[in-house]
Amino acid sequence: MSTDLRLAAGWISQSRSITVLTGAGVSAESGVPTFRGEKGLWRRHRPEELATPEAFQRNPELVWEWYRYRQVIVAGADPNAAHIALAEMERGRDRFSLITQNVDGLHRRAGSIEVVELHGNLFRARCPIDGYICELSAGEDDKAIPTCPDGHMMRPDIVWFGESLPIEAVRHAHESAVSCDLFLTIGTSAVVQPAASLPLLAKHSGARLIEVNPEETPITSQADISLSGPAAEIVPLLIEEA
């Protein structure tokens, strides 16, 4: 075990307030695909052309068919060792926040509680008229478009291209970043804003910054410790050593 990994584990053990940011690299290790290059219907449609408010207005049936397909694929994936270790990290701590850019719900399935989903969740529908939100199950009536109690057509509760992130999620993420004493960024390229600014915001507010990623990112040079490798290998080691 490297000196940096032992030091990082010690910081986790000693920390009073931890904030974690996770990205697609964590879910990829569970086999969650990006849905580009898939066979069948989706070869004829770019995801960017389906994940917009305009696409939903043009063809809500097609958009929902795509999201139902994604739900079935994601439901077949299991939380990996990184998801499970992060849930373990949260247990027994009064101040812990997990911010994720992922929409697959794997952190909650692994047992995490304080999860801020910046980009939404595949397994929720939201009414664009009254804001009503409901949970969805993979494969449940995949031909039907969900409706709210007032009969309005609902949309996937996902942040689409050209849309702003949910105000409350952004506020919570910002507050967690500026108030923690240790910030971990795991499996994210650190290029998508506003999430990419959170690690540096935490560091500038006095927190120690740990990065876990297989490749260098724009924040690697700013991290107090940068651990290179897959999250499913490194994060469990951090918990075991902490």
Q: What is the DSSP letter of 153?
A: B
C-alpha separations of 219 from 183, 185, 225, 232 in Å: 12, 9, 11, 21
- Region class of 57: left (phi > 0), else alpha (psi between -120 and 50), else beta: alpha
Catalytic residue among 107, 119, 152, 172: 119
Active site residue 172: no
Cα separation, 125 vs 135, in Å, equals 7
Gap between the Cα atoms of 226 and 211, Å rounded = 5
194 cis-preceded (ω within 30 degrees of 0): yes
- In this structure, are residues 235 and 85 in contact, taking their beta carbons and an 8 Å threshold? yes
User: Which residues does 215 contact at the CB level (< 8 Å), separation at least 6?
Assistant: 228
The catalytic residues are 119
